[in-house]
Amino acid sequence: MLESWNDGPAKSAITDFVARAVAEVPAEDRVAVFDNDGTLWCEKPMYIQLDFLLRRFKEQAEADPALREKQPYRAAYSGDLTWLGDAVTKHYQGDDGDFTVLLAAILSAHHAISVDEHAERVAAFYADARHPTLGRPYTACGYAPMVELLRYLEANGFTNYIVSGGGRDFMRPITGPMYGIPPERVVGSSVGLIYRDGDVFTTAEPEFLDDGPMKPVRLWSRIGRRPIFAAGNSNGDIEMLQFAQAGTRPSLQLMLLHDDAEREFDYVAGAERALDLAAAHGWVVPSIRTDWKTVFA
């Protein structure tokens, strides 16, 4: 039972909550929701999906020299990971200047292709790409203690969902093998889709950015139940955790703290407000450095 977790307040809070939920909450209402980036797998030095997009931006810049003078294509073409990472961090700190530019490029990166072709591009990326500093395949960058937590909740009658700002169709190919979560239980950001001539195609129009206040909206529209367990790691997860806590049933909110530079990364940028709220509202804050015996399988 949670063998990858060290004994301590975080592990005790989880096991105590699960015992209470089993005793007091019907199985159909034992819903657990998890952010993905930085909660179930690495998000530094940049989001894994940004690496996928970076490769596409570079392809576009190589084909069109004019793009090399514009962000984010300039960053992709020159290998400047700092601009991309900072754009996301500033977004979670309330500054969307660069993020708006990045989002526009994301929407046009893989448009006007069939959903099958998009899935093939994603699968090819996962087959070859490796984490730039950890040196392991991205599919081996999932956090072993969190996967163990998923199995523990499952064994106690919970249904687990991913509710992430990451792209829904970027996550779906790997959530089954990595986390045991099927694609129909993945709620994420998405572009618009259209049907034409017997197939479904992507568009360059946004459908949902599943982040911040949209997380509880999207999870309710997809799941139709208020979660009693919610896990995240950034300011973009605040509203999802608040939504879980505001219910009448026993609940637990988990805000993962990245503080282990030796085994993973050490940072709080983009999570400052969430950590303040965690302290104020009694959310559980597991420390990677002190609460996890291991980080990766």
- 3-class DSSP assignment, residue 249: coil
Check whether domain 9-41+141-291 has CATH 3.20.20.210, yes or no? no
Question: In the predicted model, what is the mean pLDDT of the chain?
Answer: 94
- Domain limits, the chain: 9-41+141-291, 48-109
pTM of the shown model: 0.92
If you average pLDDT over each of 115-119, 207-211, 241-245, which comes out highest? Answer: 241-245
Report the pLDDT value the prediction gives residue 76, as an integer from 0 to 100: 87
Report the pLDDT value the prediction gives residue 105, as an integer from 0 to 100: 87
- SS3 breakdown of the chain: % helix, strand, coil, rounded to 5? 50, 20, 30
* H or E stretch covering 245: helix 238-245
Report the pLDDT value the prediction gives residue 208, as an integer from 0 to 100: 87
Report the pLDDT value the prediction gives residue 88, as an integer from 0 to 100: 78
**Residue of 76, 78, 80 whose CA lies nearest to 56:** 76
Distances in whole angstroms, Cα of residue 12 to Cα of each of 39, 217, 270, 289, 293: 19, 30, 27, 17, 15
CA-based torsion, 128, 133, 136, 142: positive or negative: negative
**Residue 46 binned pLDDT confidence (cut-offs 50, 70, 90):** confident
> Strands 31-34 and 229-232: what pairing?
parallel
Q: What percent of the chain has pLDDT over 90?
A: 79
Report the pLDDT value the prediction gives residue 92, as an integer from 0 to 100: 79
Q: Each residue of 197-226: b (16+ CB within 10 Å) or e? A: eeeebbeeeeebbbbbebbbebbeeebebb
Mean pLDDT of 200-205: 92
Q: Which residue has the higher pLDDT, 34 or 75?
A: 34
Question: Does the pLDDT value for residue 158 go beyond 90?
Answer: yes
Please state which of the ranges 18-27, 101-110, 178-187, 225-234 shows the lowest mean pLDDT. Answer: 101-110
- 3-class DSSP assignment, residue 283: coil
